[in-house]
Amino acid sequence: MKLTREGKRFLLASVLIAVAAVNTGNNLIYLILSLMLSFIVLSYLILRLNLAGLSLDVSVAGAVYAGEPVSVKLHVHNKKKLPVYSVIIAAQDAAAEVYCGQISGHGVFRGTVVLVFGKRGLYGYRNFVVQSGFPFILFRKSISVEVSGQVLVYPKLLDVREVTEVIEGRQQEGAVAVRGRGDEVYSLRAFQYGDDWRRIHWKASAKQAGFLIREYAEYASQKITLLLDNLLPQDSIHFEAAVSAAASLAKQYIETGYPVQFIAVGTTIPFGTGEDHLRSILGVLSVIAPEEGFADFSEIGEDGFSIAILQSSRSRMRAEAALTDIVIYADSL
């Protein structure tokens, strides 16, 4: 508990009143002094009672990425019968404090605070601070509330649109057309019962004895293999950029429906799709560290498209990366 600026001024005024009361012996001044001292004592006792019996629950909804603001839900529980007034909830790295005017007896206050985690990794929740100056703002008391649980912070996302445009160009060079639901005509065939009449090719049908149906082509989606250079020695800045690039590419391709495989030294996540698969890859990238060893390049599928993400052009993996379809250097991102 600390004296506020107002409290210091009030205490100084009380000292001056006390000196005046002693020097003059005036009963009225003694009465004023007693009232001021009563204010100080009441402020201290009420403030202690106001913050007693509080507990805090914290939860994070959705994915958390390094460097991006995330909304953290707060539930402040008042376990005593008496209401709580004028409470502020603060946290390290919070964009702003959360103010609560009143929590009724055995009530709950629900609020949201915005936090920013600077780096990827597994974090324990920050210690939150609940503070108040109620009732007279002469004192300010803060209590540190330890919140159990951990939050997994995914790598910082990068803008990889230029990279994916180059990759898509390479993919289309080797793409194979198959029968599907695209926009390009793949072939013509005889009309069958149940076919859509709108797909009849009337000009070609006029030259034949029967109706001909358009079949459209689509390009078979290729599997994507991401290879991350996490070999020692490492440059921390370039390594973090490589991890961010891998996370960004994985998110981009999985969200567009590509099967994605992830390979690094000591880690292999086989092909998969969907949100659960994306969380698996991002979870590994959140805590991945440089290692000694080698990556298993035998897992690269011949029918897929492979992308190597190296820390720099001097990487120890550059010979192996030459086997992939495209190489990205983190020091140039």
Give the model's confidence band at 128: pLDDT under 50 very low, under 70 low, under 90 confident, else very high.
confident
Residues linked to residue 121 through DSSP beta bridges, in sequence order? 153
Residue-range domain boundaries for the chain: 1-153, 177-219, 221-332
Give the class (CATH, top level) of 221-332. Answer: alpha beta
The predicted-structure confidence for 272-304, as pLDDT tens digits, reads as follows: 999 999 999 999 999 999 988 766 666 665 667
pLDDT value for 221: 53
Q: Which helix (H) or strand (E) covers residue 213, if one does?
A: strand 212-219
pLDDT value for 96: 83
Ranked by mean pLDDT, which of 156-165, 168-177, 221-230, 253-262 comes out on top?
A: 253-262
Q: Which fold has domain 1-153?
A: Immunoglobulin-like (2.60.40)
The predicted-structure confidence for 188-220, as pLDDT tens digits, reads as follows: 667 776 666 676 767 777 777 777 766 654 444
pLDDT at 177 over 50: no
What is the average pLDDT across 94-104? 89
Which pTM value belongs to this model?
0.73
Backbone angles phi, psi at 327, to 5 degrees: -120, 135
pLDDT at 261 over 60: yes
Token output for 224:
């994507």
**CB 293 within 8 Å of CB 315:** no
